[in-house]
Structure 1
Amino acid sequence: MCLFFRWLAPIGICASLDIGLSNWALEYVTVSLYTMAKSSSILFIVAFSLLLRLERWRTSLGVEAAFIASGLFLFTWQSSQLDFTGLLLVELAASCTGIRWTVSQLVMQRDEHAVRNPLDMVAHVQPWMFIPIIPLVVFFEGPQLSYETVFYYKGVEAPFQVLLLACIGGLLAFCMELSEYLLLVNTSGITLNIFGIVKEITTLLLAHMINKDKLTYMNSMGLVLCFTGMLIHAFTRRRQSNEKERKRTHLPKKADDSTHMLLEAEDMDA
């Protein structure tokens, strides 16, 4: 019960606020500015990971975060319209992202309160997502909700079309969340966020190709910086994995319990 309220509740509430604040911010800012500002989420994840001792500070960690954040900033340079309210909402959403994934990593990887099954995480987190969303729906959309607006359709097939679209969207969201937790239990929140950046870059590239937007030299430099940061992260993770495997290989068969505990602690920090 302590796990449910102390750790899982913040995950669900922050996930809900992340989605709600992000959608709200898009009323004030363009997609490019949203992507640029939301890129700061990796900095929040790094900060909270260090605070919760999920990561140990190393130079490569700061370098890869700086490369990726700077790259996304340049990738969307001069393609946005600044609005302070929208920017504030995006940064609040980014901070919620940082809390959400670092606490999720803590819950799924720490032995004393591990929930390693992604389906269990989804089942425990989803109920908490209703708590902050319902007041926002009532406050912003309550006056517009009525019997006519909710249940009135122009054609007989319209309700089935809406239901089909809702089911497809819900299925995609469920699969995405399941894959995110599956990735998180085996890696870290930082790695998960970096894979998410690939999605953001793909979205912006498609926008450039479909909408015929020009990709400037500055945007290209930003793309290079992003991939450089990702390569640094991949190389660092690979090196850490090889070092841990080497330690296990050279570990004597009758190693004492303290040595095993030390290796487990290093796994948690990596």
Structure 2
Amino acid sequence: MRRAKTLTTLKPKCIASALDIGLSNWSFEFITISLYTMTKSTSVIFILIFAIVFKLEKLSIPIVAIVLSISTGLFMFTYESTQFDLKGFTLVLIASALSGIRWTTAQKVTQQSEFCFVDFHTLFLYVSHTILGLSNPIDVIYHTQPWMALVLLPLAFSLEGDEFLTSPFLFRSHDYLGTCRTLGYFVFGACLAFGLEVAEFLVVCNSSSLTLSIAGIFKEVVTLYLAAAVNGDQYSPTNIAGLVICLAGICLHVAIRFFKHTAILRLLLCQNRQMTHLPKKLRPGRLTSLPSDFFVLDKVYC
């Protein structure tokens, strides 16, 4: 992979990812979890906008309805449950916009293949390697994390450098076991973050950034529900209505993806009835060139 092409393609994703993480964590100094969740839910709107700009999604009424219903539902679910702070709200809103750039560029990098075609006799989908060779989540993390660190570390040290270096739980600690315990928390959190990153890139590689965002909204709804259940908070009719609307939007997205997948399979079955048997040399596993009776697809999202 050529260095210049790698830098040009991955630079927007690395910068957006680092600033998204940094600004999101910085906002917790000013706002509550509820306001953060309510504001960060707008990321699904930004992801849709950038997905349309980058031609990863087609603008349609169902997609717009899904995004609006989920955003409206999550806003209603957290309504009147938080204290507003302009600075924290602005930080999260900027982070949401950067999140849209982050995941749409990630999808563009991981799914930018040279060609994609389907064997109608076996219903097997062949996809060539991506132009950058970053179809594996580990490859993406390997090539993006160093550049993200270069952007994120200056921001982190400028905001928390003094507190980190003078913390009584780390370098100034006289308790060896306490220091090891603190480092253990760091390692445990890093392992969780790494697993989350791999899972997110797996979703983006095999589906779309919009699907990842909607799955994240479901996670936020469950988190808020469990937090309220543990703390004994009471839900108003507005909160309950928002939860129902949000879950309805998520179910609608899943249904649309399912029917799209079913339509593709039906198309393949119809084409399969019109095809003749392939020669042995063109059977799966020995395919070396693109036969003329293969149907070429630009993108397949199921």
* Fold agreement, TM-score > 0.5: yes
Q: For 1:139 and 1:162, how far apart are their aligned partners in 2?
A: 22
Look up the equivalent residue of 1:253 and give its one-letter code. Answer: M
Alpha carbons of structure 1 residues 148 and 76: separation in structure 2 relative to 1, 3 Å: closer
**What residue number does 1:155 align with?**
175
Q: Is the 1:50–1:57 contact (alpha carbons within 8 Å) kept by the matching residues of 2?
A: yes
* Range moving further from structure 2, 178-187 or 250-259: 250-259
**What residue number does 2:247 align with?**
227
Q: What's the Cα RMSD here?
A: 2.0
Matched, 1:267 2:296: no
Matched, 1:213 2:215: no
Q: For 1:267 and 1:2, how far apart are their aligned partners in 2?
A: 29
Give the secondary-structure state (helix, strand or coil) at the position aligned to 1:111. coil
Look up the equivalent residue of 1:60 and give its one-letter code. Answer: P
**What residue number does 2:125 align with?**
none
Matched, 1:190 2:203: no
Q: For 2:36 and 2:182, how far apart are their aligned partners in 1?
A: 28
| Bigger Cα Rg | 2
**What residue number does 1:164 align with?**
184
Q: Which structure has the highest helix share of the two? A: 1
**What residue ranges of structure 1 are gaps of 5+ in the alignment?**
none
**What residue number does 2:159 align with?**
140
- 1:129 pairs with 132, 148, 164, which one? 148
Q: Is the 1:72–1:226 contact (alpha carbons within 8 Å) kept by the matching residues of 2?
A: yes
- 2:102 pairs with 100, 103, 120, which one? 100
Q: Is the 1:38–1:90 contact (alpha carbons within 8 Å) kept by the matching residues of 2?
A: yes
Q: For 1:121 and 1:45, how far apart are their aligned partners in 2?
A: 19
Q: Is the 1:109–1:185 contact (alpha carbons within 8 Å) kept by the matching residues of 2?
A: yes
Measured after TM superposition, the shift of residue 138 of structure 1 is: 3.0
Q: Is the 1:13–1:131 contact (alpha carbons within 8 Å) kept by the matching residues of 2?
A: no
Measured after TM superposition, the shift of residue 141 of structure 1 is: 2.5
Q: For 2:191 and 2:173, how far apart are their aligned partners in 1?
A: 24
Q: For 2:7 and 2:269, how far apart are their aligned partners in 1?
A: 40
Look up the equivalent residue of 1:81 and give its one-letter code. Answer: Q
1:83-104 Cα shifts (integer Å, max 9, x gaps): 1111110011101111111011
Q: For 2:6 and 2:70, how far apart are their aligned partners in 1?
A: 34
Measured after TM superposition, the shift of residue 147 of structure 1 is: 6.3
Q: Which has the higher contact order (CA 8 A, sep 6+)?
A: 1
* Range moving further from structure 2, 208-217 or 40-49: 208-217
Matched, 1:115 2:134: yes
TM-score, normalised to structure 1, is 0.92
Q: For 1:147 and 1:97, how far apart are their aligned partners in 2?
A: 32
**What residue number does 1:86 align with?**
88
**What residue number does 2:59 align with?**
57
Measured after TM superposition, the shift of residue 144 of structure 1 is: 4.0
Look up the equivalent residue of 1:224 and give its one-letter code. Answer: V
Alpha carbons of structure 1 residues 258 and 132: separation in structure 2 relative to 1, 3 Å: farther
Look up the equivalent residue of 2:152 and give its one-letter code. Answer: I
Measured after TM superposition, the shift of residue 266 of structure 1 is: 4.6
TM-score, normalised to structure 2, is 0.83
* Range moving further from structure 2, 32-41 or 139-148: 139-148
Look up the equivalent residue of 1:267 and give its one-letter code. Answer: V
Alpha carbons of structure 1 residues 174 and 266: separation in structure 2 relative to 1, 3 Å: closer
Q: How many residues align?
A: 267
1:174-226 Cα shifts (integer Å, max 9, x gaps): 11110111111111001111111121111111211121111111111111011
Matched residues, percent identical? Answer: 35
